[in-house]
A and B are shown apart, each in its own frame.
Chain A
Protein backbone atom coordinates (compact mmCIF):
# COMPACT_ATOMS: atom_id res chain seq x y z
CA UNK A 1 0.00 0.00 0.00
CA UNK A 2 1.33 3.40 -0.81
CA UNK A 3 0.45 6.63 0.95
CA UNK A 4 -2.36 7.37 -1.48
CA UNK A 5 -4.01 4.03 -0.82
CA UNK A 6 -3.71 4.50 2.91
CA UNK A 7 -5.16 7.98 2.56
CA UNK A 8 -8.04 6.46 0.60
CA UNK A 9 -8.69 3.99 3.40
CA UNK A 10 -8.95 6.81 5.88
CA UNK A 11 -11.21 8.74 3.57
CA UNK A 12 -13.52 5.72 3.44
CA UNK A 13 -13.61 5.75 7.20
CA UNK A 14 -14.56 9.45 7.10
CA UNK A 15 -11.17 10.92 8.05
CA UNK A 16 -8.95 13.08 5.90
CA UNK A 17 -5.22 12.43 6.18
CA UNK A 18 -2.84 14.04 3.72
CA UNK A 19 -0.65 11.59 1.80
CA UNK A 20 2.53 13.50 2.60
CA UNK A 21 1.83 13.17 6.30
CA UNK A 22 1.58 9.41 5.74
CA UNK A 23 4.79 9.37 3.74
CA UNK A 24 6.59 11.19 6.50
CA UNK A 25 5.50 8.62 9.06
CA UNK A 26 6.53 5.78 6.76
CA UNK A 27 9.90 7.41 6.23
CA UNK A 28 10.60 7.14 9.96
CA UNK A 29 10.56 3.35 9.75
CA UNK A 30 12.72 3.00 6.66
CA UNK A 31 16.01 2.92 8.54
CA UNK A 32 14.78 0.14 10.86
CA UNK A 33 14.31 -2.32 7.96
CA UNK A 34 10.85 -3.23 9.15
CA UNK A 35 8.78 -5.27 6.69
CA UNK A 36 6.58 -3.07 4.53
CA UNK A 37 3.26 -4.45 5.77
CA UNK A 38 4.33 -3.93 9.37
CA UNK A 39 5.17 -0.33 8.51
CA UNK A 40 1.75 0.15 6.96
CA UNK A 41 0.05 -1.35 9.93
CA UNK A 42 1.97 0.76 12.44
CA UNK A 43 1.40 3.95 10.49
CA UNK A 44 -2.28 3.26 10.16
CA UNK A 45 -2.59 2.47 13.83
CA UNK A 46 -0.86 5.70 14.74
CA UNK A 47 -3.11 7.73 12.47
CA UNK A 48 -6.20 5.90 13.65
CA UNK A 49 -5.34 6.69 17.27
CA UNK A 50 -4.68 10.33 16.43
CA UNK A 51 -8.05 10.61 14.75
CA UNK A 52 -9.91 8.58 17.32
CA UNK A 53 -11.14 5.90 14.97
CA UNK A 54 -11.03 2.16 15.30
CA UNK A 55 -8.28 0.48 13.32
CA UNK A 56 -10.66 -2.25 12.14
CA UNK A 57 -12.63 0.39 10.30
CA UNK A 58 -9.61 0.76 8.02
CA UNK A 59 -9.08 -2.90 7.36
CA UNK A 60 -12.61 -3.71 6.40
CA UNK A 61 -13.32 -4.61 2.81
CA UNK A 62 -16.60 -4.14 1.05
CA UNK A 63 -17.25 -7.58 -0.32
CA UNK A 64 -19.96 -9.80 -1.69
CA UNK A 65 -21.24 -12.65 0.41
CA UNK A 66 -20.25 -15.16 -2.25
CA UNK A 67 -16.62 -14.09 -1.82
CA UNK A 68 -16.46 -14.66 1.93
CA UNK A 69 -13.83 -17.31 2.50
CA UNK A 70 -11.47 -16.81 5.37
CA UNK A 71 -12.24 -16.30 9.00
CA UNK A 72 -11.25 -13.41 11.26
CA UNK A 73 -11.63 -10.88 8.49
CA UNK A 74 -13.31 -7.54 8.82
CA UNK A 75 -15.82 -7.07 6.09
CA UNK A 76 -18.47 -4.62 5.03
CA UNK A 77 -21.56 -5.98 3.33
CA UNK A 78 -24.64 -4.55 1.71
CA UNK A 79 -27.28 -7.16 2.23
CA UNK A 80 -30.91 -7.88 2.86
CA UNK A 81 -32.19 -9.65 5.95
CA UNK A 82 -33.64 -12.85 4.54
CA UNK A 83 -34.76 -14.44 7.75
CA UNK A 84 -34.48 -13.94 11.48
CA UNK A 85 -34.42 -16.98 13.69
CA UNK A 86 -35.49 -17.70 17.19
CA UNK A 87 -32.62 -17.24 19.49
CA UNK A 88 -32.27 -18.53 22.99
CA UNK A 89 -28.80 -17.27 23.74
CA UNK A 90 -28.58 -14.56 26.33
CA UNK A 91 -25.51 -13.01 24.72
CA UNK A 92 -27.13 -12.81 21.30
CA UNK A 93 -29.43 -10.01 20.29
CA UNK A 94 -30.44 -11.33 16.88
CA UNK A 95 -29.54 -14.21 14.64
CA UNK A 96 -30.59 -14.95 11.10
CA UNK A 97 -29.63 -14.82 7.48
CA UNK A 98 -28.57 -11.98 5.27
CA UNK A 99 -28.14 -12.19 1.53
CA UNK A 100 -26.97 -10.31 -1.52
CA UNK A 101 -26.97 -11.28 -5.19
CA UNK A 102 -24.10 -13.71 -4.62
CA UNK A 103 -25.18 -15.68 -1.59
CA UNK A 104 -26.67 -15.99 1.83
CA UNK A 105 -24.78 -16.03 5.10
CA UNK A 106 -25.67 -16.51 8.73
CA UNK A 107 -25.30 -13.44 10.90
CA UNK A 108 -25.09 -13.21 14.66
CA UNK A 109 -25.62 -9.85 16.30
CA UNK A 110 -24.06 -10.03 19.74
CA UNK A 111 -25.71 -8.05 22.54
CA UNK A 112 -22.35 -6.55 23.41
CA UNK A 113 -22.26 -5.04 19.91
CA UNK A 114 -24.87 -2.61 21.21
CA UNK A 115 -26.36 -2.06 17.77
CA UNK A 116 -29.00 0.61 18.30
CA UNK A 117 -31.38 -0.78 15.69
CA UNK A 118 -33.10 -4.13 15.30
CA UNK A 119 -32.88 -5.84 11.97
CA UNK A 120 -36.11 -6.57 10.17
CA UNK A 121 -36.78 -9.27 7.63
CA UNK A 122 -36.99 -7.97 4.08
CA UNK A 123 -35.06 -4.76 4.78
CA UNK A 124 -31.63 -4.01 3.36
CA UNK A 125 -28.73 -2.68 5.38
CA UNK A 126 -25.14 -1.57 5.15
CA UNK A 127 -23.22 -3.75 7.59
CA UNK A 128 -19.94 -2.02 8.39
CA UNK A 129 -17.14 -4.04 9.96
CA UNK A 130 -18.63 -7.42 10.50
CA UNK A 131 -16.18 -10.08 11.50
CA UNK A 132 -16.11 -13.44 9.76
CA UNK A 133 -15.81 -16.77 11.49
CA UNK A 134 -16.23 -20.38 10.60
CA UNK A 135 -18.48 -22.96 12.13
CA UNK A 136 -18.31 -26.53 10.86
CA UNK A 137 -16.40 -25.29 7.85
CA UNK A 138 -19.07 -22.83 6.92
CA UNK A 139 -18.43 -19.12 6.92
CA UNK A 140 -20.56 -16.86 9.10
CA UNK A 141 -20.51 -13.20 10.06
CA UNK A 142 -21.00 -11.48 13.38
CA UNK A 143 -21.71 -7.96 14.54
CA UNK A 144 -19.35 -6.95 17.35
CA UNK A 145 -18.74 -3.66 19.18
CA UNK A 146 -16.80 -2.47 16.10
CA UNK A 147 -19.77 -3.00 13.84
CA UNK A 148 -22.14 -0.37 12.57
CA UNK A 149 -25.37 -1.17 10.84
CA UNK A 150 -27.54 1.26 8.95
CA UNK A 151 -30.65 0.75 6.93
CA UNK A 152 -30.32 1.59 3.24
CA UNK A 153 -32.92 2.51 0.65
CA UNK A 154 -31.73 0.08 -2.02
CA UNK A 155 -33.54 -3.20 -2.18
CA UNK A 156 -30.72 -5.75 -2.32
CA UNK A 157 -31.68 -8.90 -4.19
CA UNK A 158 -30.80 -11.81 -1.96
CA UNK A 159 -30.05 -14.80 -4.11
CA UNK A 160 -28.56 -17.81 -2.50
CA UNK A 161 -27.15 -20.65 -4.45
CA UNK A 162 -30.54 -22.12 -5.02
CA UNK A 163 -31.17 -25.79 -5.38
CA UNK A 164 -34.20 -27.70 -6.51
CA UNK A 165 -35.40 -30.42 -4.18
CA UNK A 166 -38.08 -32.97 -4.97
CA UNK A 167 -39.57 -35.49 -2.61
CA UNK A 168 -42.31 -36.29 -0.19
CA UNK A 169 -42.85 -34.45 3.07
CA UNK A 170 -42.50 -37.17 5.67
CA UNK A 171 -42.58 -35.14 8.85
CA UNK A 172 -43.64 -31.76 10.22
CA UNK A 173 -41.36 -30.57 13.02
CA UNK A 174 -42.45 -28.89 16.27
CA UNK A 175 -42.61 -25.15 16.10
CA UNK A 176 -44.57 -25.20 12.85
CA UNK A 177 -47.92 -23.56 12.41
CA UNK A 178 -49.20 -20.41 14.05
CA UNK A 179 -46.63 -18.69 16.21
CA UNK A 180 -46.28 -15.31 17.85
CA UNK A 181 -43.27 -13.09 17.37
CA UNK A 182 -41.95 -10.20 19.42
CA UNK A 183 -43.01 -6.94 17.73
CA UNK A 184 -39.58 -5.49 18.35
CA UNK A 185 -37.06 -8.19 17.57
CA UNK A 186 -39.25 -10.71 15.72
CA UNK A 187 -38.18 -13.55 17.95
CA UNK A 188 -40.72 -16.31 18.34
CA UNK A 189 -42.27 -15.97 21.77
CA UNK A 190 -42.12 -18.75 24.33
CA UNK A 191 -45.18 -18.74 26.56
CA UNK A 192 -45.95 -15.19 25.51
CA UNK A 193 -42.52 -13.88 26.42
CA UNK A 194 -39.60 -12.71 24.31
CA UNK A 195 -36.08 -13.67 25.36
CA UNK A 196 -35.02 -10.07 24.83
CA UNK A 197 -38.06 -8.05 25.79
CA UNK A 198 -39.99 -10.18 28.25
CA UNK A 199 -43.78 -10.25 28.14
CA UNK A 200 -44.95 -8.55 24.97
CA UNK A 201 -48.02 -8.35 22.78
CA UNK A 202 -46.96 -10.78 20.06
CA UNK A 203 -47.53 -10.57 16.34
CA UNK A 204 -48.91 -13.68 14.66
CA UNK A 205 -46.91 -15.48 12.00
CA UNK A 206 -47.08 -18.79 10.15
CA UNK A 207 -44.19 -21.07 9.44
CA UNK A 208 -43.38 -24.62 8.51
CA UNK A 209 -40.42 -26.75 9.47
CA UNK A 210 -40.60 -30.09 7.75
CA UNK A 211 -38.63 -33.01 6.38
CA UNK A 212 -38.57 -33.53 2.62
CA UNK A 213 -37.38 -37.01 1.69
CA UNK A 214 -36.63 -38.38 -1.77
CA UNK A 215 -35.82 -41.92 -0.69
CA UNK A 216 -32.09 -41.22 -0.99
CA UNK A 217 -31.74 -38.38 1.49
CA UNK A 218 -33.78 -36.37 3.94
CA UNK A 219 -33.73 -32.57 3.92
CA UNK A 220 -34.78 -30.20 6.64
CA UNK A 221 -36.86 -27.49 5.02
CA UNK A 222 -38.17 -24.18 6.33
CA UNK A 223 -40.99 -22.15 4.86
CA UNK A 224 -42.22 -18.70 5.75
CA UNK A 225 -45.85 -17.57 5.91
CA UNK A 226 -46.25 -16.76 2.21
CA UNK A 227 -45.14 -20.25 1.16
CA UNK A 228 -47.16 -21.93 3.92
CA UNK A 229 -50.25 -20.15 2.62
CA UNK A 230 -49.55 -21.31 -0.93
CA UNK A 231 -49.07 -24.88 0.26
CA UNK A 232 -52.03 -25.10 2.57
CA UNK A 233 -54.43 -22.31 1.66
CA UNK A 234 -54.16 -21.10 5.25
CA UNK A 235 -53.38 -17.42 5.66
CA UNK A 236 -52.16 -15.87 8.90
CA UNK A 237 -55.64 -14.38 9.39
CA UNK A 238 -57.35 -17.68 8.72
CA UNK A 239 -54.97 -19.39 11.13
CA UNK A 240 -55.81 -16.82 13.81
CA UNK A 241 -59.50 -17.49 13.25
CA UNK A 242 -58.98 -21.23 13.50
CA UNK A 243 -57.01 -20.88 16.71
CA UNK A 244 -59.52 -18.50 18.26
CA UNK A 245 -62.43 -20.75 17.39
CA UNK A 246 -60.76 -23.86 18.79
CA UNK A 247 -59.20 -21.98 21.71
CA UNK A 248 -56.07 -23.84 20.71
CA UNK A 249 -53.17 -22.79 18.51
CA UNK A 250 -52.26 -26.37 17.65
CA UNK A 251 -55.30 -26.84 15.40
CA UNK A 252 -53.41 -24.91 12.75
CA UNK A 253 -50.53 -27.34 12.89
CA UNK A 254 -52.90 -30.28 12.62
CA UNK A 255 -54.41 -28.76 9.48
CA UNK A 256 -50.98 -28.10 7.95
CA UNK A 257 -49.95 -31.69 8.67
CA UNK A 258 -53.05 -32.97 6.85
CA UNK A 259 -52.21 -30.82 3.84
CA UNK A 260 -48.56 -31.78 3.45
CA UNK A 261 -47.68 -35.15 4.97
CA UNK A 262 -47.17 -37.88 2.42
CA UNK A 263 -47.46 -35.56 -0.57
CA UNK A 264 -44.82 -34.85 -3.19
CA UNK A 265 -43.37 -31.41 -3.76
CA UNK A 266 -40.68 -29.76 -5.82
CA UNK A 267 -39.20 -26.66 -4.23
CA UNK A 268 -36.58 -24.16 -5.16
CA UNK A 269 -34.61 -23.69 -1.96
CA UNK A 270 -31.73 -21.69 -0.54
CA UNK A 271 -29.39 -23.84 1.53
CA UNK A 272 -28.71 -22.45 4.98
CA UNK A 273 -26.56 -24.37 7.42
CA UNK A 274 -28.21 -27.75 7.51
CA UNK A 275 -31.58 -26.41 6.39
CA UNK A 276 -33.21 -25.43 3.13
CA UNK A 277 -35.33 -22.31 2.98
CA UNK A 278 -38.15 -22.72 0.48
CA UNK A 279 -38.12 -19.80 -1.93
CA UNK A 280 -40.53 -21.08 -4.53
CA UNK A 281 -42.95 -23.94 -5.04
CA UNK A 282 -42.29 -25.47 -8.44
CA UNK A 283 -44.62 -28.45 -8.35
CA UNK A 284 -47.16 -30.05 -6.08
CA UNK A 285 -48.41 -33.53 -6.81
Chain B
Protein backbone atom coordinates (compact mmCIF):
# COMPACT_ATOMS: atom_id res chain seq x y z
CA UNK B 1 0.00 0.00 0.00
CA UNK B 2 1.26 3.42 -0.86
CA UNK B 3 2.39 5.69 1.92
CA UNK B 4 0.03 8.51 1.31
CA UNK B 5 -1.46 9.31 4.66
CA UNK B 6 -0.50 12.94 4.45
CA UNK B 7 -3.07 14.10 1.97
CA UNK B 8 -3.10 17.63 3.30
CA UNK B 9 -6.78 17.53 4.11
CA UNK B 10 -6.50 17.53 7.90
CA UNK B 11 -6.19 21.26 8.24
CA UNK B 12 -6.67 23.21 11.44
CA UNK B 13 -9.85 21.85 13.04
CA UNK B 14 -10.86 25.39 13.95
CA UNK B 15 -11.13 26.25 10.32
CA UNK B 16 -14.60 26.50 8.95
CA UNK B 17 -14.78 23.68 6.43
CA UNK B 18 -16.10 24.99 3.19
CA UNK B 19 -14.75 25.26 -0.32
CA UNK B 20 -13.69 28.81 -1.04
CA UNK B 21 -15.50 30.47 -3.92
CA UNK B 22 -12.64 31.11 -6.32
CA UNK B 23 -12.47 34.24 -8.45
CA UNK B 24 -11.74 33.47 -12.04
CA UNK B 25 -12.40 35.22 -15.33
CA UNK B 26 -14.59 33.52 -17.90
CA UNK B 27 -11.71 33.10 -20.33
CA UNK B 28 -9.58 31.21 -17.81
CA UNK B 29 -12.56 29.19 -16.54
CA UNK B 30 -13.52 28.12 -20.03
CA UNK B 31 -10.20 26.35 -20.53
CA UNK B 32 -10.40 24.37 -17.30
CA UNK B 33 -10.29 20.58 -17.33
CA UNK B 34 -11.62 18.12 -14.77
CA UNK B 35 -9.24 16.88 -12.08
CA UNK B 36 -9.37 13.15 -11.53
CA UNK B 37 -10.50 12.15 -8.06
CA UNK B 38 -7.91 10.53 -5.83
CA UNK B 39 -10.12 7.95 -4.22
CA UNK B 40 -13.53 6.40 -4.35
CA UNK B 41 -15.01 8.69 -1.75
CA UNK B 42 -18.27 9.92 -3.22
CA UNK B 43 -18.11 12.93 -0.90
CA UNK B 44 -14.73 13.98 -2.19
CA UNK B 45 -15.33 17.32 -3.86
CA UNK B 46 -14.90 17.52 -7.62
CA UNK B 47 -12.42 20.02 -9.00
CA UNK B 48 -11.54 21.50 -12.32
CA UNK B 49 -8.11 22.90 -13.02
CA UNK B 50 -7.35 25.95 -15.11
CA UNK B 51 -4.35 26.40 -17.40
CA UNK B 52 -2.75 28.55 -14.70
CA UNK B 53 -3.04 25.63 -12.28
CA UNK B 54 -5.90 26.89 -10.11
CA UNK B 55 -8.01 24.05 -8.73
CA UNK B 56 -11.60 25.08 -8.50
CA UNK B 57 -14.61 23.50 -6.87
CA UNK B 58 -16.72 26.55 -6.09
CA UNK B 59 -16.72 29.88 -7.93
CA UNK B 60 -18.10 33.33 -7.37
CA UNK B 61 -18.64 35.45 -10.45
CA UNK B 62 -20.30 38.78 -11.09
CA UNK B 63 -21.14 39.77 -14.63
CA UNK B 64 -23.88 40.68 -17.00
CA UNK B 65 -26.60 38.14 -17.65
CA UNK B 66 -27.21 38.35 -21.38
CA UNK B 67 -29.53 35.43 -21.83
CA UNK B 68 -31.68 33.30 -19.54
CA UNK B 69 -33.71 30.44 -20.87
CA UNK B 70 -35.64 27.41 -19.86
CA UNK B 71 -33.82 24.37 -21.23
CA UNK B 72 -35.86 21.79 -19.36
CA UNK B 73 -35.76 18.48 -21.11
CA UNK B 74 -37.54 15.97 -18.92
CA UNK B 75 -35.76 17.48 -15.95
CA UNK B 76 -36.27 21.10 -14.99
CA UNK B 77 -33.32 23.24 -15.99
CA UNK B 78 -32.58 26.92 -16.49
CA UNK B 79 -29.56 28.16 -18.37
CA UNK B 80 -28.02 31.60 -18.25
CA UNK B 81 -25.13 33.28 -20.01
CA UNK B 82 -23.09 35.63 -17.84
CA UNK B 83 -20.52 37.85 -19.52
CA UNK B 84 -17.44 39.34 -17.92
CA UNK B 85 -14.86 41.49 -19.77
CA UNK B 86 -13.03 38.37 -21.00
CA UNK B 87 -15.75 35.96 -22.02
CA UNK B 88 -18.91 34.16 -21.03
CA UNK B 89 -19.84 31.78 -18.22
CA UNK B 90 -22.55 29.23 -18.86
CA UNK B 91 -24.66 28.83 -15.72
CA UNK B 92 -27.17 26.08 -15.03
CA UNK B 93 -29.71 25.62 -12.26
CA UNK B 94 -31.86 22.53 -12.01
CA UNK B 95 -34.23 20.80 -9.65
CA UNK B 96 -31.67 20.64 -6.85
CA UNK B 97 -31.04 24.38 -6.97
CA UNK B 98 -34.61 25.70 -6.71
CA UNK B 99 -33.68 29.18 -5.38
CA UNK B 100 -31.07 29.76 -8.06
CA UNK B 101 -33.44 28.39 -10.68
CA UNK B 102 -36.20 30.76 -9.60
CA UNK B 103 -33.78 33.67 -9.59
CA UNK B 104 -32.78 32.94 -13.19
CA UNK B 105 -36.39 32.42 -14.18
CA UNK B 106 -37.36 35.83 -12.81
CA UNK B 107 -34.45 37.58 -14.42
CA UNK B 108 -34.93 40.28 -17.03
CA UNK B 109 -31.80 40.45 -19.15
CA UNK B 110 -29.54 42.26 -19.44
CA UNK B 111 -28.83 42.52 -15.73
CA UNK B 112 -25.86 42.55 -13.40
CA UNK B 113 -25.87 39.23 -11.59
CA UNK B 114 -23.78 37.53 -8.94
CA UNK B 115 -23.49 33.76 -9.21
CA UNK B 116 -22.16 31.32 -6.62
CA UNK B 117 -21.87 27.77 -7.82
CA UNK B 118 -19.92 24.62 -8.46
CA UNK B 119 -17.60 24.20 -11.40
CA UNK B 120 -18.85 21.57 -13.76
CA UNK B 121 -17.38 19.97 -16.85
CA UNK B 122 -18.94 17.99 -19.60
CA UNK B 123 -16.93 16.13 -22.22
CA UNK B 124 -18.19 15.60 -25.72
CA UNK B 125 -15.64 13.85 -27.89
CA UNK B 126 -12.37 15.72 -27.52
CA UNK B 127 -14.09 18.86 -26.35
CA UNK B 128 -14.54 19.72 -22.66
CA UNK B 129 -17.29 22.18 -21.85
CA UNK B 130 -17.18 24.04 -18.55
CA UNK B 131 -20.17 25.47 -16.78
CA UNK B 132 -21.32 26.57 -13.36
CA UNK B 133 -24.00 24.70 -11.46
CA UNK B 134 -25.53 27.60 -9.55
CA UNK B 135 -26.12 27.50 -5.81
CA UNK B 136 -27.09 31.14 -5.47
CA UNK B 137 -27.99 33.76 -8.05
CA UNK B 138 -28.81 37.34 -7.24
CA UNK B 139 -29.30 40.60 -9.06
CA UNK B 140 -26.61 43.10 -8.10
CA UNK B 141 -25.42 46.45 -9.43
CA UNK B 142 -22.59 47.85 -11.49
CA UNK B 143 -20.52 48.76 -8.44
CA UNK B 144 -20.51 45.15 -7.32
CA UNK B 145 -19.50 44.02 -10.80
CA UNK B 146 -16.63 46.52 -10.90
CA UNK B 147 -15.46 45.43 -7.50
CA UNK B 148 -15.49 41.81 -8.65
CA UNK B 149 -13.51 42.61 -11.79
CA UNK B 150 -10.89 44.54 -9.80
CA UNK B 151 -10.62 41.77 -7.23
CA UNK B 152 -10.38 39.10 -9.92
CA UNK B 153 -7.67 41.08 -11.71
CA UNK B 154 -5.64 41.17 -8.51
CA UNK B 155 -6.15 37.49 -7.73
CA UNK B 156 -5.41 36.46 -11.32
CA UNK B 157 -2.20 38.50 -11.42
CA UNK B 158 -1.04 36.73 -8.29
CA UNK B 159 -2.04 33.41 -9.82
CA UNK B 160 -0.01 34.14 -12.96
CA UNK B 161 2.98 35.08 -10.82
CA UNK B 162 2.86 31.79 -8.90
CA UNK B 163 1.86 29.63 -11.84
CA UNK B 164 4.05 26.83 -13.17
CA UNK B 165 2.52 27.24 -16.61
CA UNK B 166 4.69 28.02 -19.63
CA UNK B 167 5.73 31.59 -20.30
CA UNK B 168 3.55 31.64 -23.38
CA UNK B 169 0.52 30.60 -21.37
CA UNK B 170 1.27 33.18 -18.71
CA UNK B 171 1.68 35.84 -21.36
CA UNK B 172 -1.69 35.06 -22.91
CA UNK B 173 -3.38 35.32 -19.50
CA UNK B 174 -1.60 38.59 -18.82
CA UNK B 175 -3.31 39.78 -21.99
CA UNK B 176 -6.66 38.62 -20.58
CA UNK B 177 -6.02 40.62 -17.40
CA UNK B 178 -5.18 43.68 -19.50
CA UNK B 179 -8.50 43.37 -21.27
CA UNK B 180 -10.31 43.22 -17.94
CA UNK B 181 -8.31 46.15 -16.65
CA UNK B 182 -9.33 48.28 -19.63
CA UNK B 183 -12.97 47.43 -19.05
CA UNK B 184 -12.98 48.68 -15.45
CA UNK B 185 -10.83 51.71 -16.26
CA UNK B 186 -13.41 52.69 -18.87
CA UNK B 187 -16.10 52.34 -16.21
CA UNK B 188 -14.28 54.29 -13.55
CA UNK B 189 -15.07 57.57 -15.30
CA UNK B 190 -18.55 57.30 -13.84
CA UNK B 191 -18.55 59.16 -10.53
CA UNK B 192 -18.76 56.94 -7.45
CA UNK B 193 -22.19 56.93 -5.90
CA UNK B 194 -22.42 58.85 -2.62
CA UNK B 195 -22.84 56.83 0.53
Whether A100 is near chain B, meaning CB under 8 Å from some CB there, is no
Whether B183 is near chain A, meaning CB under 8 Å from some CB there, is no
Q: B142 to chain A: closest CB distance in Å? A: 11
B135 closest partner in A (C-beta): A171
The contact of B114 among A136, A138, A263, A275, by CB within 8 Å, is A263
Q: Which chain B residues lie closer than 8 Å to A216 at the CB level?
A: 20, 155
Q: Is the CB of B18 within 8 A of A218?
A: yes
Whether A219 is near chain B, meaning CB under 8 Å from some CB there, is yes
Complex: how many Å from CA A261 to CA B114?
8
Chain A CB within 10 A, most for which of B115, B136, B139? B136
Known: A215-B155, A218-B21. A136 touches B136 (CB 8 A): no
Q: Which segment of B9-17, B71-79, B86-94, B172-180 sits at the interface? A: B9-17
Known: A213-B20, A217-B20. A285 touches B143 (CB 8 A): yes
Q: Which chain A residues lie closer than 8 Å to B147 at the CB level?
A: 264, 285
Q: How many residues of A contact B (CB 8 A)?
A: 24
Q: Is the CB of B138 within 8 A of A258?
A: yes
Q: Is the CB of B14 within 8 A of A138?
A: yes
Q: Is the CB of B151 within 8 A of A274?
A: no
Whether A119 is near chain B, meaning CB under 8 Å from some CB there, is no
Complex: how many Å from CA A137 to CA B12?
10
Q: A157 to chain B: closest CB distance in Å? A: 26
B99 closest partner in A (C-beta): A257
Known: A262-B140, A263-B140. A136 touches B14 (CB 8 A): yes
Known: A168-B60, A170-B116, A285-B144. A218 touches B19 (CB 8 A): yes
Complex: how many Å from CA A138 to CA B20?
24
The contact of A262 among B16, B20, B136, by CB within 8 Å, is B136
Complex: how many Å from CA A274 to CA B16?
6
The contact of B21 among A136, A138, A170, A275, by CB within 8 Å, is A170
Whether B22 is near chain A, meaning CB under 8 Å from some CB there, is yes
Known: A168-B60, A171-B136, A258-B138. A218 touches B20 (CB 8 A): yes
Complex: how many Å from CA A147 to CA B139?
52
Whether B160 is near chain A, meaning CB under 8 Å from some CB there, is no
Whether A211 is near chain B, meaning CB under 8 Å from some CB there, is yes
Q: Is the CB of A137 within 8 A of B14?
A: yes
Q: B108 to chain A: closest CB distance in Å? A: 15
Whether B62 is near chain A, meaning CB under 8 Å from some CB there, is yes
Q: Which chain A residues lie closer than 8 Å to B23 at the CB level?
A: 215
Q: How many residues of B contact A (CB 8 A)?
A: 31
B193 closest partner in A (C-beta): A285
Chain B CB within 10 A, most for which of A170, A219, A258, A275? A170
Known: A138-B14, A219-B16, A220-B16. A262 touches B114 (CB 8 A): yes
Determine the main DSSP class of A at the interface with B.
Answer: mixed
Q: B159 to chain A: closest CB distance in Å? A: 10
Of residues 73 to 119 in B, which have CB atoms within 8 Å of A's CB atoms? 99, 113-116
Q: Is the CB of B14 within 8 A of A273?
A: yes
Interface string of B2-13 (1 = CB under 8 A from A): 000000000001
Q: Is the CB of A274 within 8 A of B14?
A: yes
Q: Which chain A residues lie closer than 8 Å to B18 at the CB level?
A: 211, 218, 220
Q: B15 to chain A: closest CB distance in Å? A: 7
Q: Is the CB of B138 within 8 A of A261?
A: yes
Q: A113 to chain B: closest CB distance in Å? A: 27
Q: Is the CB of B20 within 8 A of A215?
A: yes
Q: Which chain B residues lie closer than 8 Å to A213 at the CB level?
A: 20-21, 60
Q: Is the CB of A215 within 8 A of B21?
A: yes
Of residues 130 to 183 in B, which have CB atoms within 8 Å of A's CB atoms? 135-140, 143-144, 147-148, 151-152, 155
Q: Is the CB of B114 within 8 A of A215?
A: no
Of residues 203 to 231 in A, which have CB atoms within 8 Å of B's CB atoms? 211, 213, 215-220
Chain B CB within 10 A, most for which of A171, A213, A215? A215
Q: B158 to chain A: closest CB distance in Å? A: 10
Complex: how many Å from CA A260 to CA B68?
22
Nearest 3 CB-CB pairs, A to B?
A262-B114, A261-B138, A215-B23
- Give residues in A with beta carbon < 8 Å to B: 136-138, 168, 170-171, 211, 213, 215-220, 257-258, 261-264, 273-275, 285
Complex A-B: 7 CB contacts under 8 Å: A215-B20, A218-B16, A218-B18, A218-B21, A262-B140, A263-B140, A263-B144
